[in-house]
Structure 1
């Protein structure tokens, strides 16, 4: 994420609630509607179907839509991998193809296709001119993508499109990738890497004299030096690539990722695989209902405040709600006070009444909420769920015991000014102030250990109950933690694979 947590608050809120038209507020949309829409990916389904209708423009849309739904291929890989010569794009494309069980398409295997008059034309043309006209190449690609295995299992395009003209032609035909990866490395590295390239003529596998030499002597003996890998030839190809790529990239805004290729091939592959498995943010209306779980001192309150500030969510702290109910002398406050006074747990049924009263208010329904401090165990989670309060994003903040001890046992309060200090991170300015500082009994190491043991005793069951929860390392800079949480909220939930 590029924006800081304090800026762009209205933009962030508008983006999350983008499906709502502010001119017709207030909206009284039953909470079940967006819950159903997100759980079943209804908005994405309709968006994909509309895109296909506009691209193909069938004479009778109804049978076309039925066929589209029956294919159920909205989530198959559709990947383009680009990069200069010797950047490793073919290797990465092959590894991705095997891992994702999808089809690898290159100019070479498109031309080699059997029983295709179009491919036969392409071979004849290539033998004569050592190049293919754009129209012939694009028609060859279109023919291949219509075949059942590409429809069912998706595809990866290796090194295509090479020019802006090709990119525009494939877009005009409705061939739209979901992820575009561009490998990048300094030209000097690429020239040196290209000189060591060798090819197995039987399998098409690419090896390298320095980085990836086969262990089998049989394979070693049959490797050949590919044509066009001299320093002069590689430099010429690099120049042509740089001239073209700057005009290709603008064709793929928002779905493009540049990965440095000057690193171990396995690292490049891992980054590429992570990217192609992400789901791009949808335009569907979305009201966040965020649950933050974590032990005492894990930073839940700070993260909730940052989310509320940036996205306009209602910050719902369960402990604070109980204190406010007592301060307001409400009917629930009178029931809560004896428990707080004796420092014993407030019964679940009373907590749920106070929580329900807050979450049912119109600001929570319209803007969404971020809840922390409840539920603390599986029984409370079941109770909350039975009443219809279902978070659509759940985060567990894990922090080691030693870090929590450091965060909490060194907290102090000035009894005169009420100012709060931390002996390590925010020490008092004078010895006089330090001498009068007091520690809250709740911040003793013994009390903290009891609370942490209780949380981690229940957390495994809670994580299992919230099956799509995201677990984060809370023991790092709070703004780094916030960026992880933020990306987990604005990106769609992954679609469950049956």
Structure 2
């Protein structure tokens, strides 16, 4: 099976990806892992990516696309199939992926799209607080400190503040929607309700993937 997994930050994509890989024995390809492996193995694209990263520059799309193509051409993908996680991030990358898969003779069979109301994700992502003295992390709703805790003893990172979280989600929605539309037009998207217990979400994914097998 050759799959993509998509969803906004905080939707539980990483958790579900790990479960899919374990249950269906496909190769998990995440962008970060790919970059690290390409640089460690000193592949042509890995060395090119390193030259940008070392200068503190953003890695251009053509290099990212090249690293993905290099990875998809490897033997384990032919044997097991893949679950691509964290790519494509833009519609241009989606078109590049289409082209790479076509050139490699690989068919994309499904896109798992984990959906959660963005307002709920703001609550989920902006609830993180950190204890000033110990650095221990808590969540105001899901994992609060002891009852009656003093808020002055805790702080929030800038990234975790509601305004920052909303902005991050808005950017992700703007970038992600054209990609979802692109794959939906190809009949590949399977929407999964993400605001459920982790095991229930996975059971829904399992039903979809069992039909694709």
Name the TM-score, length of structure 1 as normaliser.
0.36
Specify which structure has the higher proportion of strand: 2
Partner of 2:97: 384
Structure having greater relative contact order (Cα 8 Å, sep ≥ 6): 2
- Give the alignment of 1:339-378 within 5 angstroms: 341=56, 346-378=59-91
Partner of 2:18: 305
- Give the alignment of 1:33-432 within 5 angstroms: 288-322=1-35, 331-338=47-54, 341=56, 346-388=59-101, 390-412=107-129, 420-428=137-145
Contact 1:294 1:396 in 2 (8 A): yes
Per-residue deviation at 1:292? 0.9
Name the TM-score, length of structure 2 as normaliser.
0.76
Match of 1:337, SS?
helix
Aligned Cα root-mean-square deviation (Å): 3.3
Contact 1:325 1:332 in 2 (8 A): no
Partner of 2:192: 472
Match of 2:209, SS?
helix
Contact 1:410 1:422 in 2 (8 A): yes
Aligned equivalents of 1:484, 1:359: Cα separation in 2: 27
Partner of 2:210: 490
Shift of the 328–411 alpha-carbon distance from structure 1 to 2, 3 Å rule, reads farther
Larger Rg: 1
How many aligned positions are there? Answer: 201
Partner of 1:105: none
Contact 1:396 1:470 in 2 (8 A): yes
Contact 1:294 1:455 in 2 (8 A): no
Per-residue deviation at 1:320? 4.3
Shift of the 472–418 alpha-carbon distance from structure 1 to 2, 3 Å rule, reads same
Shift of the 412–368 alpha-carbon distance from structure 1 to 2, 3 Å rule, reads farther
Aligned equivalents of 1:328, 1:411: Cα separation in 2: 37
Per-residue deviation at 1:483? 1.2
Runs (5+) with no aligned partner, structure 2: none
Contact 2:49 2:63 in 1 (8 A): no
